[in-house]
Structure formats: structure tokens, C-alpha cells
């Protein structure tokens, strides 16, 4: 079931990151099929060289895992692990 609190947290997190890394794009949506939120960061080519950003992303993902367990969002870069629909929210 879609959790609006998780959605709010994801949106706030995405807006904060994008305000500091203006080249970053984050897309996310709830997947009925997987029963979790799916989050994709891009472009991978710029993310890969930025250790500060990567550490921030991993810390956030770990916190979400700690709080939500199996219901935590799934994260990837450039939709490498899953495809988002055209209706996915985009934060730039």
C-alpha cells in the first residue's frame, strides 16, 4: 500500500539533494507490482565521480532500510535495475 509519509520523505530528500547538486535528476514512483517506491538517480556518469554525494545517498538509503525494512524504497542509477513509468515524479 502506498505510504504518503515515505513519499513525503523521498520528495523532501530529492529536493534537498537537487538544490545542492543542480545537475542531478531524481525520479520516483510507487510500484503496485513491487509494493514499494522506486527511486532512480541520474546521470550516472556525474554521480560516479562524486564521493560526497555517493556517501550521502548511501546513508539515506541505509536509514530508509533501517526504518522501513522490506517496505523501504529501492534505489538505482539511470533506471538500471527497474524502469519507471512516464508518470514518475521528476525532481530537477
Per-residue pLDDT tens digits for 6-63: 999 999 999 999 999 999 999 999 999 999 999 999 999 999 999 999 999 999 999 9
Check which CATH number belongs to the domain holding 40 and give it. Answer: 3.30.300
Domain count for the chain: 1
Model-level pTM? 0.94
Please choose, from the candidates 70, 66, 91, the residue with its C-alpha nearest in 3D space to the C-alpha of residue 7.
91
In sequence order, what DSSP letters do the residues of 2-24 get, joined into one string? --HHHHHHHHHHHHHHHHHSTT-
In which domain, by residue range, is 45 found? 4-91
Amino acid at each position: 500500500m502506498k505510504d504518503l509519509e515515505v513519499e513525503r520523505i523521498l520528495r523532501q530528500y530529492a529536493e534537498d539533494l537537487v538544490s545542492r547538486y543542480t545537475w542531478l535528476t531524481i525520479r520516483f514512483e510507487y510500484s503496485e507490482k513491487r509494493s514499494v517506491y522506486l527511486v532512480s538517480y541520474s546521470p550516472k556518469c556525474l554521480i560516479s565521480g562524486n564521493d560526497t554525494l555517493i556517501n550521502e545517498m548511501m546513508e539515506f538509503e541505509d536509514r530508509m532500510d533501517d526504518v522501513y525494512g522490506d517496505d523501504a524504497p529501492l534505489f538505482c542509477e539511470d533506471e538500471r535495475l527497474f524502469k519507471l513509468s512516464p508518470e514518475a515524479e521528476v525532481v530537477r
